[in-house]
Amino acid sequence: MENENKLSRTISAGSAGRRYDNICKKLLSYKVILAWIMKECMSEYSQCTVDEIAENYIEGTPRISETPVHRDEVSASAITGINTEDSSISEGTVMYDILFNAIAPASGELIELIINIEAQSNFYPGYPLIKRMIYYCSRMISAQYGTVFEHSRYDKIRKAYSIWICTNPPQERIGAITRYSIQEEHILGSSSEMKSNYDLMTAIIINLGDRSIKSAGRITGLLEVLLSAKMKPDEKKKILNKEYDIAITENMEREVSDMCNISMGILEEGIEKGRSEGMLGAVRSLMDTMKLSARQAMAALKIPEDEYGKYEQMIEQLSSKH
């Protein structure tokens, strides 16, 4: 897991990182993968089979990075379903990773849900992740005005789910799945409201990082295999087929292969960057303590001569900052 954690920390705004991120979203958006997540994490689907969910209850094609989270205005011209992007003039554009509608069988009737799936590599991004999850649920509900309901038709509000997959959780959360939802609490008296009238948002976080016997056959095990940066494509295909009865399509197989190629490239790039930064530190240390020139220090460290220029440029850049 150490290399995979390094990989997730290395992936950033670079072109390779964006490609890797896009492939993760594509793999997670396949209906059979979404169906596994829904069955194991959402009470509405616990009694359904994965095939039933994928074939009967996921509407249309999931939208990938098409819908903004922060949105200042919503067109009220027509009831059109969901909008995948919620763009704010002041905050820029932040997209939902994957957004789709689903129908849930409940009490003999069908209830529509709006579900957002997010992939997150950092559990501590500088704020409590759960607050962002609840905020996303709130945005999915407020954005329904003018698209799902108008005026005072609050009875038409659809339940919102925000499901986050954390690929690099802290040690104490590895393998855990946690759900947060609105509950009814009787402070005085015992008169109850219909659950469907207040159970309107649920946030779920799935923590990966443990491909073990305990996780085998579970959603954590599936996602750990699917998103692994180290596992070979053929091995992924075999496990997904044998343990989860997932037939790998040609497109999925190509994306799994691309993910492995990109992740290895990023990992090698990260290792090389770490080696270069470590060697640069050693060069500067010798220059300071032994009063050597840059080239003398590099020669003492047996750095190949064809790399001298690279380190001299790095030293010059650091000097110009001070």
Structural domain tally of the chain?
A: 2
CA distance to 181, 304, 320, per residue, from 287 (Å): 59, 17, 17
Q: Is residue 264 part of a domain?
A: no
The pLDDT, as a whole number, for residue 277 is: 65
Are residues 193 and 127 part of one domain? yes
The pLDDT, as a whole number, for residue 3 is: 46
Are residues 227 and 140 part of one domain? yes
For residues 63-77, average pLDDT: 64
The pLDDT, as a whole number, for residue 89 is: 35
The pLDDT, as a whole number, for residue 164 is: 95
Q: Is the pLDDT of residue 10 over 60?
A: no
CA distance to 10, 14, 291, per residue, from 271 (Å): 10, 16, 29
Q: Tens of pLDDT along 48-58?
A: 999 999 999 99
Q: Is residue 268 part of a domain?
A: no
The pLDDT, as a whole number, for residue 263 is: 57
For residues 14-33, average pLDDT: 81
- Name the least confident of 72-81, 192-201, 270-279: 72-81
Q: What is the mean pLDDT of the chain?
A: 79
The pLDDT, as a whole number, for residue 100 is: 93
Higher-confidence residue of 246 and 319: namely 246
Q: Is residue 17 part of a domain?
A: yes
Q: Is the pLDDT of residue 147 over 50?
A: yes
The pLDDT, as a whole number, for residue 204 is: 96
For residues 13-38, one letter each, b for 16 or more C-beta atoms within 10 angstroms of the residue's C-beta and e for the rest, the string is eeebbebbbbbbbbbbbbbbbbbbbb
Q: Strands 109-120 and 159-166: what pairing?
A: parallel
Are residues 183 and 62 part of one domain? yes
Q: Is residue 76 part of a domain?
A: yes
Are residues 228 and 301 part of one domain? no
Q: Is the pLDDT of residue 138 over 80?
A: yes
Q: Is residue 257 part of a domain?
A: no
Are residues 167 and 288 part of one domain? no
Decide which of 233, 248, 263 is a domain's last residue: 248
Q: Tens of pLDDT along 93-102?
A: 678 889 999 9
**What's the predicted TM-score (pTM) here?**
0.71
Q: Tens of pLDDT along 277-314?
A: 677 777 777 777 767 788 888 887 778 888 888 788 77
Decide which of 196, 231, 248 is a domain's last residue: 248
CA distance to 20, 120, 176, 259, per residue, from 172 (Å): 27, 17, 9, 28
The pLDDT, as a whole number, for residue 17 is: 64
Are residues 127 and 59 part of one domain? yes
Which helix (DSSP H) or strand (DSSP E) does residue 32 occupy? helix 31-41
Q: Is residue 315 part of a domain?
A: yes
Decide which of 211, 233, 248 is a domain's last residue: 248
Q: Is the pLDDT of residue 66 over 70?
A: yes
Which residues share a beta bridge with 160? 114, 201
Are residues 152 and 47 part of one domain? yes
Are residues 157 and 48 part of one domain? yes
Are residues 278 and 146 part of one domain? no
Which helix (DSSP H) or strand (DSSP E) does residue 120 occupy? strand 109-120
d(C-alpha 65, C-alpha 85), whole Å = 8
For residues 55-78, average pLDDT: 72
Are residues 317 and 169 part of one domain? no
pLDDT band at 322 (very low <50, low <70, confident <90, very high): low
Q: Is residue 253 part of a domain?
A: no
Q: Tens of pLDDT along 231-263?
A: 888 888 899 999 899 988 888 888 888 777 665
Are residues 171 and 75 part of one domain? yes
Are residues 126 and 184 part of one domain? yes
Q: Is the pLDDT of residue 86 over 60?
A: no
The pLDDT, as a whole number, for residue 198 is: 94
Domain that holds residue 20: 2-248
- Name the least confident of 127-131, 203-207, 213-217: 213-217
Q: Is residue 262 part of a domain?
A: no
